[in-house]
């Protein structure tokens, strides 16, 4: 694909491909030759839904009539998706925008900008795949299981083992505490408490919201949230 992109760029006389700023959801790609002329780009911004905002800069001393075109790479060619002609005032900017809905796959978008009598510029943008993120931790030790036994058996507190193993698999540290009540004329009783904690945020990503939500449901079954939501803390970063 890189070879084909270079051939396409070569066919556009005077086109300069630039790459500087990055964003969490997209990034410019390609070589970074020294800019010549008065047309440049500002900071790339892409929101969670795939709306691209890209300032076109006029670094010259007079207004410029510029034409910009957004295109998307379909695997074989650049397909135009939005084009417009605007006047950019001297020493000013115009923010070009288009929405390319993000998907589970990475996408390539190109912005070409030209003005009569000036060097044209272009920027290729890689849209990162859309992912659904969950981050979780605890505010300290959280009780995750309990077992009461009135027994003479030496196997005390085994009933919490399964829940502790599930918590460990999710990245939590675990421990148990056993309280024994001695009965003078009878059988001693035992109360076993299982705890889990995670001091640092742990992050997992999913291709769909449904997968993320299913994971969250399984998570809170192992490590509960109290009614204030402070035992298990959950966040949903935007990507």
pLDDT tens per residue across span 201-226 = 999 999 888 999 999 999 999 999 87
pLDDT in tens, 65-91: 999 999 999 999 999 999 999 999 999
Q: What would the CATH number be for the domain defined by 2-130?
A: 2.60.40.10
Parallel, antiparallel or unpaired: strands 189-197 and 173-181: antiparallel
pLDDT computed for residue 117 by the predictor: 87
pLDDT band at 156 (very low <50, low <70, confident <90, very high): very high
Q: Where in the chain do CATH 2.60.40.10 domains reside?
A: 2-130
């Amino acid at each position: 694909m890189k070879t084909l992109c270079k051939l396409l760029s070569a066919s556009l006389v005077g086109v300069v491909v630039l790459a500087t700023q990055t964003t969490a959801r997209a990034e410019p790609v390609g070589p970074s030759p020294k800019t010549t002329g008065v047309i440049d780009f500002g900071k790339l911004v892409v929101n969670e839904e795939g709306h691209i905002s890209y300032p076109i800069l006029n670094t010259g001393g007079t207004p410029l009539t510029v034409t910009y075109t957004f295109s998307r790479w379909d695997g074989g060619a650049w397909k135009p998706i939005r084009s417009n002609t605007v006047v950019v005032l001297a020493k000013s900017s115009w923010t070009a925008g288009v929405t390319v809905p993000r998907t589970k796959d990475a996408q390539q978008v190109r912005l070409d900008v030209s003005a009569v009598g000036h060097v044209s510029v272009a920027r290729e943008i890689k849209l990162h795949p859309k992912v659904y993120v969950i981050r979780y931790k605890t505010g300290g030790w959280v009780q995750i299981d309990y077992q009461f036994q009135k027994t003479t058996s030496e196997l005390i507190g085994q009933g919490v083992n399964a829940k502790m193993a599930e918590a460990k698999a999710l990245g939590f540290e675990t421990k148990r505490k056993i309280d024994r009540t001695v009965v003078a004329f009878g059988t001693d009783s035992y109360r076993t408490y299982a705890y889990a904690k995670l001091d640092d945020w742990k992050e997992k990503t999913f291709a769909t919201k449904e997968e993320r939500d299913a994971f969250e449901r399984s998570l809170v079954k192992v490590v509960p949230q109290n009614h204030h939501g402070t035992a298990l803390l959950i966040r949903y970063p935007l990507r």
